[in-house]
Structure 1
Amino acid sequence: MNIRLSIGANLGRRAATLREAIRRLAGLPGTRLLAASSFYETAPWGKTDQPPFLNGAVELETALAPETLLHETQAIEQALGRVRHEHWGARTIDIDLVYATEEDGVAAAADANGTNEATRIVRRNTPELRLPHPYLLERAFVLEPLHEIEPGLILEGRPIASWCEKNAGQGVKKSDELAAPWPLQSIACVSADRGLGKDGKLLFRIPEDMAFFKQQTKTEGSVVIMGRKTWESLGRKPLAGRTNVVVSSSMKAPLFEGGRAAIAAGGVVGNTGRTSGTAHLEYASNLSQLSVLLEHLHCERPHRPFWLIGGGTLYRQLLPYTSRIFLTEVAATPPADTFFPPLDGFACIKKSPAKTPGVMFAEYLRK
Structure 2
Amino acid sequence: MDALSPFNSPAYAYVALGSNVGDRQQLLLQAIQQLSGRPDIEVLRVSGVYETDPVGYTDQPPFLNMAIAVRTTLSPLALLHVLLDTEQQLGRVRDIRWGPRTIDLDLLLYADVVMDGEELTLPHPRMMERSFVLVPLGDVIEQSHPLKEQVAAAAASALQDGKEGIMLWKIINWHSESGHFVS
Q: C-alpha offsets along residues 333-363 of structure 1, whole Å, 9 cap, x if unaligned?
A: xxxxxxxxxxxxxxxxxxxxxxxxxxxxxxx
Counterpart in 1 of 2:180?
Answer: 321
Q: Given the alignment of the two structures, is residue 147 of structure 1 paired with residue 147 of structure 2, yes or no? A: no
Listed one character per residue, the Cα deviations across residues 202-224 of structure 1 (whole Å, up to 9, x for unaligned) are xxxxxxxxxxxxxxxxxxxxxxx
| C-alpha distance in 1 between matches for 2:52 and 2:173 | 18
Question: 8 Å contact 1:19–1:179 — kept in the other structure?
Answer: no
Instruction: Tell me the number of residue pairs that the alignment of Structure 1 and Structure 2 aligns.
Output: 168
* Residues 42 and 171 in structure 1, CA contact (< 8 A), matched pair in contact too: yes
**Are positions 1:46 and 2:56 aligned together?**
yes
Q: How far did 1:151 drift? A: 6.4
What's the CA shift string for 1:31-83, capped at 9, x where partnerless?
11101111000000121111100000011100000101111111111111101
- RMSD of equivalent CA atoms: 2.2
Q: What is the deviation of 1:149?
A: 1.9
- Give the corresponding residue for 2:165: 171
1:17 aligns with 2:19: no
SS at match of 2:16: strand
Deviations 1:128-150 (A, max 9, x none): 11110011111111111111123
Q: CA deviation at 1:3?
A: 0.4
In 2, the alpha carbon distance for the partners of 1:3 and 1:151 equals 10
| Residue pair 2:172, 2:181 contacting (<8 A) in 1 also | no
Alpha carbons 2:35, 2:43 under 8 Å: kept: yes
Counterpart secondary structure, 1:175: strand
Which residue pairs with 2:96 in the alignment? 86
Matched, 1:28 2:20: no
SS in 1 for 2:69: strand
Q: Tell me the residue number matched to 2:119.
A: 128
CA distance in 1, matches of 2:142, 2:177: 26
Q: Secondary structure at the match of 2:107?
A: strand
The whole-number CA distance in structure 1 between the counterparts of 2:149 and 2:177 is 36
- Residue type of the alignment partner of 2:19: A
CA contact (8 A) 2:16 2:66 kept: yes
**Structure 2 residue ranges without an equivalent (≥5):** 1-10
Give the 5 Å matches for 1:183-332: 319-321=178-180
Greater per-residue helix proportion = 2
Verify: 1:96 aligned to 2:90, yes or no: no
- Runs (4 or more) in structure 1 with deviation over 3 Å come to 165-168, 178-181
Tell me the equivalent position of 2:12.
Answer: 2
Q: Per the alignment, in what secondary structure is the counterpart of residue 159 of structure 1? A: helix
CA deviation map 1:183-215 (0-9, x unaligned): 7xxxxxxxxxxxxxxxxxxxxxxxxxxxxxxxx
**TM-score, normalization by structure 2:** 0.83
Alignment match, 1:67: 77
Which of 6, 22, 37 pairs up with 2:47?
A: 37
Highest relative contact order (Cα 8 Å, sep 6+), 1 or 2? Answer: 2
Unmatched 5+ residue regions in structure 1?
A: 102-120, 184-316, 324-367
The whole-number CA distance in structure 1 between the counterparts of 2:61 and 2:146 is: 32
What is the TM-score when the length of structure 1 is the normalising length? 0.43
1:55 corresponds to: 65
* Inter-partner Cα distance in structure 2 for 1:41 and 1:69: 26
Name the aligned partner's letter for residue 171 of structure 1.
G
